[in-house]
Chain A
C-alpha cells in the first residue's frame, strides 16, 4: 500500500501538459464555458 500511495503522490505532482499547474487547465475549461455562454447569448439575441 505504501508503494501505491507513493506512486500516486508522484502522479499527483506530475506536471500537466502545456501549463505549469493544473489550476491553469481548470481556469481554461471554466473560462471557455463562460465565453460560450456569452457567445450563445449574443447569438440568440442577434438573430431573433
Chain B
C-alpha cells in the first residue's frame, strides 16, 4: 500500500472512532445506553439495520461468488422484503407495546423464564461465535494479501469497535454506522465504475455483460425447484423468508436497531426501507464481481488467488511443478484473451460469426480453467489441510493489484468499516441480552441504574475480548459469507418457531413450546450432520417442528392436567 492509501485508511478509521465517542459521550442510564432513549429517526434505523447485516464478508465474498458461481446468490435475499412487511405488521407493534429491551424479554411475558433463557442462550451462543467471525474473516484476508500480522489486525479491529461501543452504547453504534455506510457506498460505487472503465477501449459495458452472461455469470434467476441446488428462487423466497423473519424479528443484534425508534412508525419505516434497498444493493455488489470476472479476460489473473498458499506450494519442493503450471496458465490466458477480443469484434460488427467466436472462447476458457483446477489439486496434494477455496480473495486481489493509490486505501476502509459496523451491533446486542435477560433477571434484580449501566459497559468489554480471543484461535474457513449464514441457520429456525408460537398460537403453552424447541433443534443438528439438505432449509426445518410438536405436546399436557 502507498502512503496515500495509509492516509486514507487511517484517517477514515480514526474519524469513525473519534466521531462515535464524541457524538455519544455521557450516557446516563441504561435506557439511553441500550435503547438510545428511543429517539432514533427511521433513516438512521434503516442504515443501521443495513450496516449490521452487511459485514465485511458481504463485500469480500459476494463479488468472489459472482466470479466463481455467477449472480444466483442474489436470490438468497428474495424472502427479505416479505419478512420486513410481516415484521412491520405484527412484531414491531408488540415490541413497542411491551416496551422491551430485548426480544427475549417478550418470551417471559408470553411463556416463562425457561423459554426466555433458552432463546437468549441460543442467541448468545450463536452470536458470540459470529462476532468473532465478523472480525476474523476480513483480518484473515487482509493479513494474507497485505502481509499484515493477523493477530495485530484482529486486535486493532476489535479494539476500535470496543472503544466506541463501550463509550456510547447503542447510539454510538447507530451514529458510526451512518458514516460507515457512506464509506461503503462511495467505495463500492468507485470500484464498480473503475472496473468497467479499465476494460480495453474496444470492450463496452454491453460487451462485458454479454461475455459475463455467455459464461453463465449473470444467472440472477433460477426457477427450477431443486432441493439439491443451494440458490434458486424457491429456496430464496421460502428459506430466505424464514431466515429473514428470524434474523430481523428475533436476533437481538437486529431487534435492538429498530427498538431504538421513537415510535412504531420510525421502526417500521426503517425495516421497510431495508426491504426495498437490500436486493438492489446486493445485485450491484454481485454485478461488480461479474465485471471483475470479465476484467480478468483481458488482464491476467493469478492462477490461484490466495497468494500465500500459492507461495507456500512453490517453496515446498514442488516449485518446478507450480512454475510449469503458471507458464501453461499464462499461455492459455493469452489465447483466451485473443478469443475474447475476437468475440467482441464479432459482436460489435454484427457479423454472423459470433456463435463460432463464442464457442472458441468457451473452449479457451475451459482450457484455462483446467489448468487452474490442476494447480489447485497440486496445492492440495502438497498440503492436505490447505483451504483451497480462494473465492474470498478474488475481489481484494483485484483491488490491490489494479486500482490506483488512494482508492485501495478507501476500499480497505470499506472492508474494515463493514466489519466494525456489524461487530458493534453484535457486541451491543450481546451485552443487552446478557445484562437484561441473564444478569438483571437471574443474579442482581434490584440494583440502581448506575450499576446496570456500568455492568453493560463491562459486559460489552467482555464480549469484545471474547470475540477477539475467538479470532486468535480460528483457523480455516470455507466461503466466509456462507459459513456465517450456515451458523445462523442452525439456530434461527428454532428461535423463530418459539416466537411464531408466541405471537400466533396462543393455545400452546410454555412447557409444550420449550420441549418442542429442544426437539426441533435436535432435528436441525441431525440434518446438518447427517444429510445434504442445503442450509437455507434449516430455517424451515427448525421452525415448523416447534409449531407441530408444540401442538402435539400441548395435547399431552392438557390430558395430564385433565387426568391429574
Q: Chain A residues in contact with chain B, CB under 8 A?
A: 4-5, 8, 11-12, 14, 16-17, 22, 25-26, 28-30, 32-33, 36-37, 40-41, 43-44, 46-48
Q: Report chain A residues within 8 Å CB of B327.
A: none
B 143-181 binary contact with A (CB < 8 Å = 1; else 0): 000000000000000000000000000000000000000
B contact residues vs A (CB 8 Å cutoff): 74, 78, 81-82, 84-85, 88-89, 93, 96-97, 99, 209-210, 212-214, 216, 218-221, 223, 233, 263-265, 268-269, 272, 275-276, 279-280, 283
The 4 tightest CB contacts between A and B, nearest first, are: A47-B213, A40-B220, A11-B264, A8-B97
> Can you spell out 6 A-B residue pairs with CB atoms less than 8 angstroms apart?
A8-B93, A29-B84, A30-B81, A33-B279, A46-B213, A48-B213
Q: A31 CA to B221 CA in the complex, in Å?
A: 17
B residues near A43, Cβ cutoff 8 Å = 218, 220-221
Please give me the residue from chain A that is nearest to B84 by CB atom. A29
Q: Which residues of B contact A17 (CB under 8 A)?
A: 265, 269
Contacts of B74 in A (CB 8 A): 40
Taken together as a complex, chains A and B put the C-alpha atoms of A30 and B86 apart, in Å, by 11
- B264 contacts A12, CB within 8 Å? yes
Q: Which of B74, B82, B97 has the most CB of A within 10 A?
A: B97
- Contacts A8-B97, A25-B268, A48-B214 aside, 7 further interface pairs with beta carbons under 8 A come to A4-B97, A16-B269, A33-B78, A33-B82, A33-B275, A44-B219, A47-B214
Collect the chain A residues with CB atoms within 8 Å of residue B268's CB.
Answer: 16, 22, 25
Q: Is the CB of A26 within 8 A of B89?
A: yes
Return chain B residues, CB-CB under 8 Å to A40: 74, 220-221, 283
- Contact status A32-B218, CB under 8 Å: no
Q: Shortest beta-carbon distance, A9 to chain B, in Å?
A: 9
Once bound together, how far apart are the Cα atoms of A48 and B218, in whole Å? 8
* Residues in chain A near residue B220, CB distance under 8 A: 40-41, 43-44
Q: Tell me which residues across on chain B come within 8 A of A22, comparing CB atoms.
A: 88-89, 268
Q: How many residue pairs at the A-B interface have CB separations less than 8 Å?
A: 82
On whether the beta carbons of A32 and B81 are closer than 8 Å, the reply is: yes
- Kindly identify which residue among A14, A30, A33, A48 contacts B219, using a CB–CB cutoff of 8 Å: A48
Instruction: Pick from B209, B210, B220, B263 the residue with the most CB of A within 10 Å.
Output: B220
| Residue from A17, A22, A26, A47 having most chain B Cβ neighbours under 10 A | A47
Known: A44-B219, A47-B213. A36 touches B279 (CB 8 A): yes
Q: Decide: A11 and B265 in contact? CB cutoff 8 A.
A: yes
Given that A44-B219, A48-B218 are contacting pairs, would A30 and B233 also be in contact in the complex, using a CB cutoff of 8 Å?
Answer: no
Q: Once bound together, how far apart are the Cα atoms of A12 and B97, in whole Å? A: 10
Cα separation A33 to B241 with both chains bound (whole Å)? 13
Task: Chain A residues near B82: list those with CB within 8 A.
Answer: 30, 33
| B264 and A29 form a contact (CB under 8 A) | no
Complex alpha-carbon distance, A43 and B72, angstroms: 12
Which of chain A's residues have a CB closer than 8 A to the CB of B218?
A: 43-44, 47-48
Contact for A5 among B97, B219, B265, CB less than 8 A = B97
Q: Give B65 Cβ to nearest chain A Cβ, in Å.
A: 16
Chain A residue with the shortest CB-CB distance to B279: A36
User: A26 and B85 in contact (CB under 8 A), knowing A14-B263, A37-B78, A37-B233?
Assistant: yes
Given A36-B279, A47-B210: A30 in contact with B85 (beta carbons within 8 A)? yes
In whole angstroms, how far apart are the Cα atoms of A26 and B561 in the complex? 43
Q: In this complex, what residue of B is CB-closest to A40?
A: B220
* Cα–Cα, bound, A32→B88 (Å): 17
- Bound-state CA distance A44–B231 (Å) is 15
Contact of A33 among B81, B264, B265, B269 (CB under 8 A): B81
The interface residues of chain A lying within 8 Å CB-to-CB of B264 are: 8, 11-12, 14
- Specify which of B82, B210, B276, B283 lies most central, judged by the most chain A CB atoms within 10 Å of its CB: B276
**Which residues of the other chain, B, contact A8 by a CB distance below 8 angstroms?**
93, 96-97, 264
Q: Provide the residues of chain B in CB contact with A41, threshold 8 Å.
A: 220-221, 223
| Complex CA distance for A26 and B84, rounded to whole angstroms | 9
CB distance from A30 to the nearest CB of B (A): 6
Write the nearest CB–CB distance from B451 to chain A, whole angstroms: 25
Q: Which residue of B lies closest to A36 (CB)?
A: B279
Determine the distance from Cα of A8 to Cα of B221 in the docked complex, in whole angstroms: 41
Q: Using Cβ atoms and an 8 Å threshold, which residues of chain B touch A11?
A: 93, 96, 263-265
- Name the A residues within 8 Å of B269 (CB-CB): 16-17
Within 8 Å by CB of A4, from B99, B263, B275, B276, lies B99
Residues of A within 8 A of B275 (CB): 29, 33
Give the residue name and chain of the A residue nearest to B273 (CB).
Answer: A29
CA distance A27 to B416 in the complex (A): 36
Task: Assess whether A12 is in contact with B276, with CB atoms less than 8 Å apart.
Answer: no
Residues of A within 8 A of B216 (CB): 48
In angstroms, Cα B213 to Cα A41, docked, is 12
Shortest distance between the CB of A42 and any CB in chain B (Å): 9
Closest Cβ of chain A to B77, distance in Å, is: 10
CB closest chain-B residue, reference A45: B221
Residues in B with CB closer than 8 Å to A37 are: 78, 221, 233
Given A16-B268, A30-B85, the answer on whether A44 and B221 have CB atoms closer than 8 Å is yes
Q: Which residues of B contact A44 (CB under 8 A)?
A: 213, 218-221
